[in-house]
Amino acid sequence: MNIPGLGLVKGLWMTLKALFRRPVTVMYPDVKEELAQRARGVIALSIENCTSCMLCSRECPDWCIYIEAHTVEIQPDKPVGRVRTRNELDRFDIDYGLCMYCGICVEVCPFDALFWSPEYEYSEFKISNLLHDKERLDDWLQTVPDPPALEK
């Protein structure tokens, strides 16, 4: 049996039910959303841990990580020792206009220099301002949560 106008009545009934129900959306600027633990936001850099091995920039599928370094000679502690060399980080930039947040750079870093930070409010009016330097990436290191405890 096909009653004319039944679809209209069902639609109005759904609208009436939704009108008095509490919304599930979060009013973003006023209320911050509760993120899941270990949520991916922005990549943070520990400058002290970075050895400029450039493994992260080589493995990045988007080529959005730019690293520049220079070599420094370290004099031996003993008079018979040999002179060693070490890379010093000059530039570490990530272009978030290109980044697809795959996390490969965080996974391949052998020195634990890159971490996921839950910070997600870093939008800019100009796309050229999405190129973040090492100082800004180091500032986000304070927002990185502690790793979960190991199981007993």
Confidence (pLDDT) at 34:
81
Kindly state the average pLDDT of the residues 19-36: 82
pLDDT at 37: 75
H-run or E-run covering 106: helix 104-108
Rounded to an integer, what distance in angstroms lies between the CA atom of residue 105 and that of residue 87?
19
pLDDT of 148 reads: 79
pLDDT of residue 59: 95
In 10 A of CB 119, how many CB atoms?
Answer: 17
Residue 1 has pLDDT above 70, yes or no: no
The residue among 152, 147, 151, 139 whose CA lies nearest residue 44 is: 139
The more confidently predicted of residues 4 and 72 is: 72
pLDDT at 56: 95
For 31-90, write each residue's pLDDT tens digit. 888 888 778 889 999 999 999 999 999 999 999 999 999 999 998 888 888 989 999 999
Token pair 């060399």 is found at 85
Angle CA 143–87–128, to nearest 5: 50
Per-residue pLDDT band for 150 (boundaries 50, 70, 90) equals confident
Could you give the CA distance from residue 86 to residue 73 in angstroms, rounded to a whole number?
A: 6
pLDDT score for 2: 77
Average pLDDT of the chain?
90
